Structure 1
Amino acid sequence: MNVNGWIIYNGHLSGNKFLDFAEWFHEAAQKQGIETNLYKNNDLLTYLDDRRLSLIGGNSLPDFVIFTDKDIYLARQLELLGIRVFNPANAIAISDDKIATYQVLAQHHLPIPKTIAAPKIFPGSATVELENIRSIIDQLGFPMIIKEAFGSFGEQVYLVHTEKEMMDKVREIQERPFVFQEFIAASSGKDMRLQVVGDHVVAAMTRYASNDFRANVTAGGTMEAYQPSAIERKIAVAATKAIGADFAGVDLLFGPDHTPIICEINSNAHIRNMYDCTHINAADFIIRYISETLTNEGRS
């Protein structure tokens, strides 16, 4: 296939995790005869004036971009320049914002925990006014999850057991968007990650934590390869399509009687852990999907 692509990752984050993620795609593309170049997001500046928009940096514009970052403005600039971006900017933006994610999933009647978005509190507010605190408790009960809208690796998710703990946490994070959410006790310390590519789940694993209600591997959880049920696959694919993503890592909770409940959708789910667990390289499937999509869209 005679196309070339860019793989964009964040240049300001410490450690090699994000470069490693980009390199997986680069190597997968090489295996399939597709030329790609890696760029940091800060290597590419969005330029705007009253006559044009363009990019400062980079070589001639590519046929497609694999966007492994959350720099939404850069992703949109690339789309405005006519470049096919995987995943689309809007899908990344929805995935990055958990409140927006739950709104879209609810709109599509997909299973999520009972969720209440906290009213916006502007920075500098002296007090937190939550006159309807009792109605939140009545709806969700304790224990209760408080989850910030923006966060990764489970680090902005909190479990509270009393009204005092709840209000203390609200005062701590009040200037950031967050939700109150039903605690799914049946899934405490365990969940599943399904890697979706197009219409298919290409790999899956369960994650377990012995000393935490969160099962994130980054937080110390362990992994096992998993064969998801037909309904789990259907929900994961439907969730990915609901936010407009081409591929995603969908985290499902084990609800009562093992009924699957969507926890999060990760438009840029890192795939090394999935490979280490299942020996399935999701990047190979993603590159093949991109190639087929470009052909179907007449971009080859």
Structure 2
Amino acid sequence: MQIPAPQPAKSPRILLVTAGIDRHARELIRAFGDRGAEIRVVELAAIGFDTGAPHGVAIPGFAGTLPDAVCLRTMDGGSFEQVTRRLGVLHALSRVGVIVSNDARAVENCVDKSATSFLLARAGIPSPRSYAVETRAEAARLLAHEGRPMVLKPLFGAQGKGLKLIASEADLPAETETAGGVYYLQHFAGVAVGGRFADIRILVSAGRVAAAMRRESSGWITNIKQGAEALPMPPDPELEALAIAATEAVGGDFCGVDLLRDEAGRAQVIEVNSMPAWTGLKRASGRDIAAIRAADLLARIAATSPRAATAGALAAS
């Protein structure tokens, strides 16, 4: 059998999709560059559909060609139509063979908190019971039925913004005052120890735990952006296994998973984030998250490249 002559290696081409060049984007640019990748930074809003183009999409900086992978950092906000089109672009890139991380399916599953709760429950992953309804009357009925505090969250929200603890029907806002006219309610599972609330953020990348931190706050909202303190987290095999399972349940490959232990000490997955920030996590864990992100995505490209396939066929022959 004649072995093909080795071909000169080509630098992987990475499309970094981000709504802005923030600290995280700059760290990713450095991390990919340090590993020899060519990187272009584009807002998702700038990528268009073009049915006359070779692949049906028009990407600034990729005239008639495609990147080897898309690294999704953040999506631009916009109207329902704009967001739908942008998710459609991510779907299209996956369909023409580009590695998209995280892909549109994972983003949709995480951005919609009710979809996340549904998928966690379907996978048998412990998570506080959740409801999503569209009338105040039904929300009030559920609150009375549960007989316990619930957290009202925006269906599409992040960084702890817009959360409200609901103890009675009087706490429920009018339908016109909810985020998008939806009541997404989740059992409140927080526990204060010594006057401090805490939860855990575990970052999962490529099917393994990449970093973890404990978040503590004097209030029940424990997001770093809301003033919580990021602390080192010792290994916890149970929570780590749940974080990996939750990431798999939403179809993600790079996710931040929020967990806590309830009053009975039971581990609960609260949320899964498909576009996680990592400033506090990096500080608490000492891990270079951007370097991990870049290395894992480049390894995925290498594993799916024609050269890798040829090497696999040779090894099997």
TM band (smaller chain): 0.7 to 0.9
Q: Could you report, residue by residue, the CA deviation over 1:204-239 in whole angstroms, capped at 9, with x for unpaired residues?
A: 1111111x2110111111110102311100000000
Residue from 179, 203, 219 that aligns with 2:211: 203
Q: Is residue 94 of structure 1 aligned with residue 109 of structure 2?
A: yes
Distance 2:264 2:55 in 1: 56
Distance 1:74 1:52 in 2: 11
Distance 1:102 1:293 in 2: 28
Q: Could you report, residue by residue, the CA deviation over 1:14-43 in whole angstroms, capped at 9, with x for unpaired residues?
A: xxxx53222222211122222212112233
2:13 alignment counterpart: 4
The unaligned stretches of length 5 or more in structure 2 are 1-8, 76-85, 308-317
1:64 alignment counterpart: 69
Distance 1:42 1:134 in 2: 41
Residue 116 to residue 43, structure 1, CA distance change in 2 (3 Å): closer
Aligned length: 283
Residue from 163, 179, 185 that aligns with 1:180: 185
Q: Is residue 246 of structure 1 aligned with residue 253 of structure 2?
A: yes
Q: Could you report, residue by residue, the CA deviation over 1:43-78 in whole angstroms, capped at 9, with x for unpaired residues?
A: 322334799722153324211110112342231232
Residue from 98, 104, 119 that aligns with 1:104: 119
2:289 alignment counterpart: 282
Opposite residue 61 of structure 1, the aligned amino acid is: L
The unaligned stretches of length 5 or more in structure 1 are 12-17, 120-127
Distance 1:251 1:169 in 2: 29
Q: Could you report, residue by residue, the CA deviation over 1:84-127 in whole angstroms, capped at 9, with x for unpaired residues?
A: 111111001111110111111111010110111113xxxxxxxx
Opposite residue 215 of structure 1, the aligned amino acid is: T
Distance 1:144 1:76 in 2: 35
Q: Is residue 23 of structure 1 aligned with residue 26 of structure 2?
A: yes
Residue 86 to residue 132, structure 1, CA distance change in 2 (3 Å): closer
Per the normalisation by structure 1, the TM-score is 0.86
Comparing 156-165 and 99-108, the one that deviates more: 156-165
Percent identity, aligned pairs only, is: 24
Distance 1:51 1:26 in 2: 27
Q: Secondary structure at the match of 1:151?
A: coil
Distance 1:62 1:142 in 2: 50
Asked whether the equivalents of residues 144 and 160 of structure 1 are also in contact (C-alpha less than 8 Å), the reply is yes
Q: Is residue 293 of structure 1 aligned with residue 300 of structure 2?
A: yes
Residue from 14, 24, 36 that aligns with 1:33: 36
Runs of 4+ in 1 over 4 A off after TM superposition: 48-52
Residue 95 to residue 10, structure 1, CA distance change in 2 (3 Å): same
Comparing 226-235 and 29-38, the one that deviates more: 29-38
Asked whether the equivalents of residues 44 and 58 of structure 1 are also in contact (C-alpha less than 8 Å), the reply is no
Opposite residue 92 of structure 1, the aligned amino acid is: V
Distance 1:214 1:191 in 2: 9
Asked whether the equivalents of residues 63 and 299 of structure 1 are also in contact (C-alpha less than 8 Å), the reply is no
RMSD after superposition = 2.4
Distance 2:68 2:168 in 1: 54
Residue 88 to residue 161, structure 1, CA distance change in 2 (3 Å): same
Larger radius of gyration, structure 1 or 2?
2
Distance 2:13 2:298 in 1: 10
Q: Secondary structure at the match of 1:262?
A: strand
Per the normalisation by structure 2, the TM-score is 0.81
Asked whether the equivalents of residues 13 and 39 of structure 2 are also in contact (C-alpha less than 8 Å), the reply is yes
Distance 1:50 1:291 in 2: 27
Comparing 240-249 and 76-85, the one that deviates more: 76-85
2:269 alignment counterpart: 262
Asked whether the equivalents of residues 24 and 283 of structure 1 are also in contact (C-alpha less than 8 Å), the reply is yes
Residue 299 to residue 104, structure 1, CA distance change in 2 (3 Å): farther
Q: How much does 1:130 deviate?
A: 2.2
